[in-house]
Structure 1
């Protein structure tokens, strides 16, 4: 077992709202908190805090508070911060929904989370309304931020002028958010994160992620994802920096916003790093303001990181974490250019880790001096670790043991200096452009096609070295099926990031005696084919 090389911190025993906004000075209140990257409209901390209080008051006036779950389906716009923190300020729990989800996927999350109120925006209203109708969420409980006939708007709620309620709860046990994750395997599950989890993780990151109040942080990675929620939205607000929001990634717009708004920090996922390193459009924009490019959500290749750093003239770093750890557990400090960019850096404060041999269950010891340890599954324990999966004791027990160790499913090594590197993955989860894709979900969709007898899905690398979903398909006897038809079938039933990108037809899906798909055999087949 290893502890963080940083000294332990005292984590404030408070709500996330009070932690972020309770200590604002008059000077800080007049600082810019949010900039709409598209329009340039600015929101100060004073305006943001006022809006949060008014929204919390409007919810409280409708009987929403501790024990209620409110859903939020919204891209990265300034109003996201108002609604998200307004929900938490009211004492309710926020469940944030992927903006790319289909109505079926939205309905599944609403049902599982037990949401009774739902906030969205007009471009996403058709899917939201279809999902809400299945659950019996009435139109007056479906708030459309920018307005739609028959639905309350954000302006309506804020205009009522209700004061924020007095709420009381234990930050250590009260759920702040319910983001959804597939964990190491299976279908998405509600990750129970308390106010204390979120507060702890921001405190833990402060010594490594070197934001300062004068920074402008480009927020293109989605706030609904734990990475965007903690490392961008909450972290930047705590540091009194300015967030420049971007609703979706478009390379031209991404480069324009960085240049025009003089962004100093750019949080990305590895596919964006590929564009920054290789795309000719980059040379047509002034990116000289960028001090740091920080990557997360999926592993960043060290050579790719160096290409980005040399092309833009900035520091490139990465971190590691999971939805189940709020998410940050490891960070390459932005002042440590000597560290290998492909590593995930050091454990953050108040965090313990173990590397466990997957065959023997024995702890892998770090080297006494120099060199690198043998690989082992990374286990994590700390105040950022989730309470468990909502309503799923079996899945919780598989992920989180009785001693509080979270079994990540990732295989790592560690140096004598405490620098970790992810070298492989036990889990079946596919990370496509930083988004989680659960093979089980795609396999269920594939098996719904009448011409498919059996199917399995694994992650494979594309030409840019990024992981994409590949389907192995067994065709029903006598059926006529091609790859395009298979891809189109899946596309019709899942979010865009979950689409199958490659199809291979085979005679038999390898399975264990218990009927479990032997993905390692499929990966071995893939490796042999590419050798």
Structure 2
């Protein structure tokens, strides 16, 4: 069956993203838009509007033209939004780059996206220079701060070049070009149009209202679509204040909440885990917090409840989406009292969903059964850049985007079980790693955990746990772990092997990098 949203449809937003977000900047005027959470630098809405227009003018004067791709290679800074919106106003598509990318990884993205311009920061300049050499075709590298031999964004702000008058087609022109592996394979450029991103903001707004007076802490990276949407586009569209941190460091994060009286945080599960378990949390005044939203990876219901209880907050709301969906499709409304634990919410406006059978993807799963989640709506990506076959595998002829995630629906609420490609097949039974990981995190001696499928001496795929001990649990053994799980799951779900590690490899979004664990496993065999 096709699931429909219970919310009223929204009209597609046919404005360029810079106008969709900053269209009311003049109205907000001297209200603070951005705060550097480290040094206290502030940017008002009037300044943000002026700055991004001056940057657009300077980029156009340097030779950037409509259709060019600009690579934005930076951690979170108060300059990031001005550069992003300045580039789109000048007619460019912005490909956002992981600030920890190696020169070789960066060069691959430059080549694949055909980027001609780079904006970076001086600490990352050598990587950017090397990437530009490897990729070739880069016209110029700009910096957000200061570096000899490079034009600074700061100098652009006082320039006199005329503002470009670029005519954009929001339905066709690409605003953002983030890179995602999708359901499988190497990272691919995800073509997100101005309309798909802006319309998704309108779809999400009724469920995540922000406005003047709200103070949002931006610790998840802007280069990731979650951070770009929830921590940059959405709050700046509504006149909230965004306090910016360059990376997640627990004590800096907690101190920023206390100092800036943050009332809302949008995070990933590892941060929820730290808030629930880390002793440092007790040393800070977090009483200004009103709500927490978690997304980007599955969040266990018990962990969410433990975090809410410790902080004295309403239940943590979850959201669901992916880069290829601009990114949101589901969200638990703020203050929803009837949301069952563990749900990622209900369909947002103008969005349809199917749950496809795992045995026969051409058919729908029976009501209440688990299956692959498929989405259709105005937020669906235009496609993968230069990869029509990959696009065709992801989006079918009827416009359904097949997410690769397994879910089930209960009374309209979506529950995400795991990834199709990450299921462990133990003697024909399907075992979801996320379920076992959530269970492991309830053990008082476990600080973090990840589960992957490995093969035993008989060629059977079995669940193996990688476990990080709590500091006070150095005597925790493999037998302790296997016995703990065995008492709580069906026999086919039991953990068969355990390895203790110092840290679970995770992406900045919080997703477990299972590929790195599989590589580790291959090296050890």
Length-normalised TM-score, structure 2? 0.82
Summarize the alignment of residues 276-425 of structure 1 with structure 2, pairs less than 5 Å apart: 276-315=275-314, 316-360=316-360, 361-366=362-367, 373-416=368-411, 418-425=412-419
Q: Structure 1 runs of 4+ off > 6 angstroms?
A: 468-474
SS in 2 for 1:161: coil
Q: Contact (CA 8 Å) 2:76, 2:222: kept in 1 or not? A: yes
- Equivalent in the alignment of 1:192: 191
Query: 1:209-235 CA distances to partner (integer Å, 9 max, x unpaired)?
Result: 132321100000000000001111000
Summarize the alignment of residues 144-223 of structure 1 with structure 2, pairs less than 5 Å apart: 144-223=143-222
Work out the CA distance in 1 between the residues paired with 2:312 and 2:339: 17
- Equivalent in the alignment of 2:17: 16
Query: 1:239-269 CA distances to partner (integer Å, 9 max, x unpaired)?
Result: 1100000001100100000100111111111
Q: Contact (CA 8 Å) 1:317, 1:341: kept in 2 or not? A: no
Summarize the alignment of residues 495-506 of structure 1 with structure 2, pairs less than 5 Å apart: 500-501=516-517, 503-504=520-521
SS in 2 for 1:78: coil
**Structure 1, unpaired ranges of 5+:** 367-372, 431-457, 475-482, 509-531
SS in 1 for 2:75: coil
Work out the CA distance in 2 between the residues paired with 1:274 and 1:332: 19
- Equivalent in the alignment of 1:274: 273
Which stretch shifts more, 199-208 or 458-467? Answer: 458-467
- Equivalent in the alignment of 1:437: none
Q: Contact (CA 8 Å) 1:318, 1:341: kept in 2 or not? A: no
Summarize the alignment of residues 79-158 of structure 1 with structure 2, pairs less than 5 Å apart: 79-137=79-137, 141-158=140-157
**Structure 2, unpaired ranges of 5+:** 425-432, 441-445, 458-465, 467-500
Q: Does 1:264 align with 2:258?
A: no
Q: Contact (CA 8 Å) 1:185, 1:428: kept in 2 or not? A: no
Change (3 A) 1:469 1:118: farther
Which stretch shifts more, 4-13 or 275-284? Answer: 4-13
Change (3 A) 1:116 1:472: farther
Work out the CA distance in 1 between the residues paired with 2:98 and 2:452: 18
Work out the CA distance in 2 between the residues paired with 1:208 and 1:225: 21
Work out the CA distance in 1 between the residues paired with 2:277 and 2:195: 41
Change (3 A) 1:506 1:12: closer
Q: Contact (CA 8 Å) 1:472, 1:506: kept in 2 or not? A: no
Instruction: Report the CA distance between 1:501 and its aligned residue.
Output: 4.9
Which stretch shifts more, 50-59 or 498-507? Answer: 498-507
Change (3 A) 1:347 1:465: farther
Q: What is the root-mean-square deviation in Å for CA atoms of aligned residues?
A: 2.7
Change (3 A) 1:380 1:157: same
Which stretch shifts more, 176-185 or 340-349? Answer: 340-349
Q: Contact (CA 8 Å) 2:108, 2:135: kept in 1 or not? A: no
Q: Contact (CA 8 Å) 1:472, 1:505: kept in 2 or not? A: no
Change (3 A) 1:429 1:205: farther
Query: 1:1-21 CA distances to partner (integer Å, 9 max, x unpaired)?
Result: 011111111122211111112
Instruction: Report the CA distance between 1:184 and its aligned residue.
Output: 0.3
Instruction: Report the CA distance between 1:472 and its aligned residue.
Output: 8.1
Change (3 A) 1:79 1:506: closer
SS in 1 for 2:374: strand
Change (3 A) 1:464 1:388: farther
Q: Contact (CA 8 Å) 1:276, 1:282: kept in 2 or not? A: yes
